[in-house]
């Protein structure tokens, strides 16, 4: 690959990374919450674009170990015990809005059912149950 192609690839990765983080690539300012880049399907597309250009996922770049596959019985989900970021909250809202079962959402997000349920309560999407 020539020098010009390498520079174009680096620039494209920079732009995609900024958009994925919800920032304007030129100014670095946060984009408004209603902007299209905050939609889960757009964020997934941006991530796929980065991967197609050879950029590893954020988790892999930060040195986190690759965890067990999602949804494998007896295995801890790959994001279990980790904090939630804005993009995951948006994806949770999207999946929940599609009326997907909590178990399916947990598998998709690499979380436990309990973590998904707790997050749904914290986001005000469901009400906490009183003692049973």
Longest pairwise C-alpha distance within the chain = 66
**What pLDDT digit, counting tens, does each position of 21-52 carry?**
778 888 888 888 778 877 878 888 888 888 88
Domain final position from 49, 65, 81 = 65
Euclidean distance between CA atoms 7 and 114, whole angstroms = 45
pLDDT (tens digit per residue) in 67-108 = 444 444 567 888 888 889 888 898 898 888 888 889 888 888
Q: Tell me the whole-structure pTM to 2 decimals.
A: 0.45
What distance in Å separates the CA atoms of residue 80 and residue 67, rounded to the nearest whole number? 10
Task: Print the domain residue range for 87.
Answer: 67-132
Q: According to the model, what pLDDT value does residue 131 have?
A: 55
| Total tally of structural domains belonging to the chain | 2
- Whether 72 and 132 share a structural domain: yes
Distance from C-alpha of 90 to C-alpha of 110, rounded to nearest angstrom = 15
Check whether residue 75 and residue 128 sit in a common domain.
yes
Cβ atoms within 10 Å, residue 30: 12
Taking a C-beta distance cutoff of 8 angstroms, is the pair 96, 125 a contact?
Answer: yes
């Amino acid at each position: 690959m020539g020098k010009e192609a390498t520079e174009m690839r680096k620039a494209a990765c920079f732009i995609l990374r900024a958009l994925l983080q919800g920032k304007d690539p030129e100014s670095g300012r946060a984009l408004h919450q209603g902007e299209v880049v905050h939609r889960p399907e757009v964020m997934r597309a941006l991530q796929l674009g980065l991967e197609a250009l050879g950029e590893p996922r954020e988790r892999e770049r930060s040195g986190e170990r690759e965890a067990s596959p999602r949804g494998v019985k007896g295995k801890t989900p790959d994001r279990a015990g980790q904090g939630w970021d804005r993009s995951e909250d948006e994806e949770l809202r999207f999946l929940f809005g599609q009326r997907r079962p909590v178990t399916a959402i947990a598998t998709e997000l690499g979380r436990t059912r309990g973590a998904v349920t707790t997050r749904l309560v914290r986001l005000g999407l469901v009400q906490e149950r009183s003692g049973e």
